[in-house]
Amino acid sequence: DAGITQSPRHKVTETGTPVTLRCHQTENHRYMYWYRQDPGHGLRLIHYSYGVKDTDKGEVSDGYSVSRSKTEDFLLTLESATSSQTSVYFCAISDSYNEQFFGPGTRLTVL
């Protein structure tokens, strides 16, 4: 998976609790992305980062925040999880405007 790890790989939580997902890369790539994948919707971009402390919103950013304090780490936070945020979350990295390499994914269930 191109030097990308995601943690945790699986998580079950309750509505209203905060959740943080971590993406860690060893490739020193500039760009990092968070996607969610849902049946019938495919992959949708939540947030992306184009450098340390530089982030921007994607297609479905409401209810999510991100932080990138180091090149290798990109955190996705659900401040107050809702059942609609039950999904599979993928992190991706790239070093240019083309190839994106994806991590193994995190399965999040919000009860």
Tokens of residue 94, six digits: 């790239």
Stretch touching another protein by CB under 8 A, among 13-21, 67-75, 78-86, 93-101: 93-101
CA 71, 59, 101, 89 torsion-angle sign? positive
Q: Which of residues 31-90 bind another protein (CB under 8 A)?
A: 31, 33, 35, 40-45, 48, 50, 58-59, 90
Beta-carbon contacts of residue 87 (< 8 Å; ≥ 6 apart)? 36, 37, 38, 108
Q: Say if residue 70 is exposed, middle or buried (CB neighbours under 10 Å; 0-12, 13-18, 19+).
A: exposed
H or E element in which residue 92 lies: strand 87-94
Please state the closest distance from residue 49 (CB atom) to another protein, in A. 10
Nearest alpha carbon to residue 48 among 37, 63, 39, 59? 59
Query: Does 10 engage in binding with another protein (CB under 8 A)?
Result: no
In the list 22, 73, 75, 101, the residue contacting another protein (rule: CB under 8 A) is: 101
Stretch touching another protein by CB under 8 A, among 16-24, 65-73, 79-87, 99-107: 99-107
Nearer to another protein among residue 31 and residue 109 (C-beta): 31
Query: Does 23 engage in binding with another protein (CB under 8 A)?
Result: no
Residues binding another protein (CB under 8 A): 1, 31, 33, 35, 40-45, 48, 50, 58-59, 90, 94, 96-105
